[in-house]
Amino acid sequence: MKFQRRLQEELQLNLTPLIDVVFLLLIFFMVSTTFTRETRLAVNLPEADGEPVQDAPRIIEIAVSQGGSYAIDGRALVNNEIRTLMRALEEVSGGDHEIALILIADADATHQSVVTAMDAIGQSGFSRLSIATRKPDGEDDEQN
């Protein structure tokens, strides 16, 4: 029995130095390893050869005045009804619904008149609408 007890005492291993060495190796490999390498490719893009477009795309301007009246390309409409605006858009565009439209509204125009113009544009089949703003008269470009 003494022999067995003595054998158990001698067989105990201390794992602390082994764990320390493993952690040091782990830290060494983590610090010395590169995880990502950036590679760059030289890309030669083709150059287009062509003639510049001479004709500017056609744009129709729809203006909404302070009183809610409409004008298309500077020509005032006879009334403020949506049907009149739709008919005028068809005439001016010649049935081409791919023409770009610019809606220009006065700062004091009612929301309803602007929404009515947008509704007429949508019901007529136009999908390229831009809303533009202009500076009020008398306002300088430079402001302090």
Domain count, the chain: 1
In a domain, 11, yes or no: no
In a domain, 34, yes or no: no
Q: What CATH number has the domain bearing residue 75?
A: 3.30.420.270
Domain that holds residue 92: 59-132
- Angstrom distance (rounded) from CA 112 to CA 143: 32
Query: Per residue, what are the HEC states of the chain?
Result: CHHHHHHHHHCCCCCHHHHHHHHHHHHHHHHHCCCCCCCCCCCCCCCCCCCCCCCCCCEEEEEECCCCCEEECCEECCCCCHHHHHHHHHHHHCCCCCCEEEEEECCCCCHHHHHHHHHHHHHHCCCCEEEECCCCCCCCCCCC
What pLDDT is attached to residue 142? 46
In a domain, 30, yes or no: no
- pLDDT tens for residues 72-89? 988 888 888 888 888 888
In a domain, 88, yes or no: yes
In a domain, 140, yes or no: no
Task: Let me know the angle formed at the C-alpha of 48 by 43 and 51, rounded to the nearest 5 degrees.
Answer: 165
- Model pTM above 0.85: no
In a domain, 81, yes or no: yes
| Higher pLDDT among residues 57 and 130, named by residue | 130
Task: Please check whether residue 71 is in contact with residue 65, taking contact to mean a CB–CB distance below 8 angstroms.
Answer: yes
Count CA atoms closer than 13 A to 42's CA, side-chain side.
0
From the list 33, 109, 38, the residue with the least C-alpha distance to 71 is: 109
In a domain, 67, yes or no: yes
In a domain, 3, yes or no: no
- pLDDT tens for residues 3-36? 666 656 666 778 898 999 999 999 998 888 776 6
